[in-house]
Amino acid sequence: MAPILSFDRVSKVYPNGVHALKDVSFNVEEGEFISVIGPSGSGKSTLLRSINRLIPISGGSVLLDGESVSASRGKSLRVLRRQVGMIFQNYNLVYSLSVLQNVLHGRLGYMGGVRGVFGLYSERDKIEALELLHELGLEQFKYNRASDLSGGQKQRVGIARAIMQKPKLLLCDEPIASLDPSSAKTIMDLLRDMSRRRNIACIVNLHQLEVALSYSTRIIGLAKGQVVFDGPPEELTDETIELIYGTTRENLMMGGRADAQDTVDCA
């Protein structure tokens, strides 16, 4: 069976000359739960956003379910993007709309222009959205405005919206960075369990090394835009951790984040 996602010598150079990715190659198989780790500026966000071409790559190729993302345009790109659900650090919800309406937005990629503009969702879509909210413990908030929710609840709505797409791949860009430890554990448990039950591959960008070690079936470690580790968590040695971060495992664990400085991840 062909991989769901294939990166073949992908590079990305920004207009300012920053080489965010350098000859990155890897495949993703159905059902994998992959954490991408590395310090700020290592290329984590660039890698994630290259998958469904939120940013264009400079070289190499990205294949999604055997189709070239890099070469796709217009309708063919929209069809490919249906297969990829995204979960964001800052939730990306429409706060003036209800929780239920936000979840239903996951179906917009399947709807024509007029139906989408007026929110003419099918009864089947509405039932599935309500079932997802029940599964995520949010059924009682279905008619609340998204702005009324806590951070953890907002992220659960984001997960529900992504699952509504019926994706083959979930991309999660720092999904717990803004959450307290209890909410972060809830979100990681939900991501792992929901992707496992639906056999959806999941790629999660994480700053928290201990979280990556606890939840992943596989870890990809980036340093200065290059893959320096790709394998199961139990094979991630102290020496490789120091190669990735430039500091020891103990220092990372003490800080709670695998990121010593509060810098903006330009990648």
Please identify, among 111, 131, 166, the residue that sits at the C-terminal boundary of a domain.
166
* Average pLDDT over the chain, rounded to an integer: 90
Among 124, 145, 166, identify where a domain stops. 166
Same domain, 255 and 175: yes
Backbone angles phi, psi at 169, to 5 degrees: -145, 135
Question: Which residue segment(s) compose the domain that 123 sits in?
Answer: 93-166
Tens digits of residue pLDDT in 201-247: 999 999 999 999 999 999 999 999 999 999 999 999 999 999 999 98
Q: Per-residue confidence at 114, pLDDT binned at 50, 70, 90?
A: low
pLDDT digits (tens, 9 = 90+) for 47-79: 999 998 999 999 999 999 899 998 888 888 888
Share of the chain above pLDDT 90, in %: 78
Give how many domains the chain has, as a whole number. 2
- Residue 105 contacts residue 93 (beta carbons within 8 Å): no
- Asked if 137 and 158 sit in the same domain, the reply is yes
Domain boundary among 112, 145, 166: 166
pLDDT score of 241: 95
Is 88 contained in some domain?
Answer: no
Q: Which amino acid is at 265?
A: D
pLDDT of residue 72: 86
d(CA 201, CA 65): 12
Q: What angle do CA 89, 149, 165 make, to 5 degrees?
A: 55
Q: How far is it, in rounded angstroms, from Cα 50 to Cα 69? A: 9
Exposed, middle or buried by CB within 10 Å (0-12, 13-18, 19+), for 244? buried
DSSP symbols for 124-161: HHHHHHHHHHHHTT-GGGTTSBGGGS-HHHHHHHHHHH
The domain that holds 173 is classified in CATH as 3.40.50.300
258 and 227 within one domain: yes
* Closest to 136 (Cα-Cα) out of 110, 154, 120: 154
Say what the pTM is. Answer: 0.90
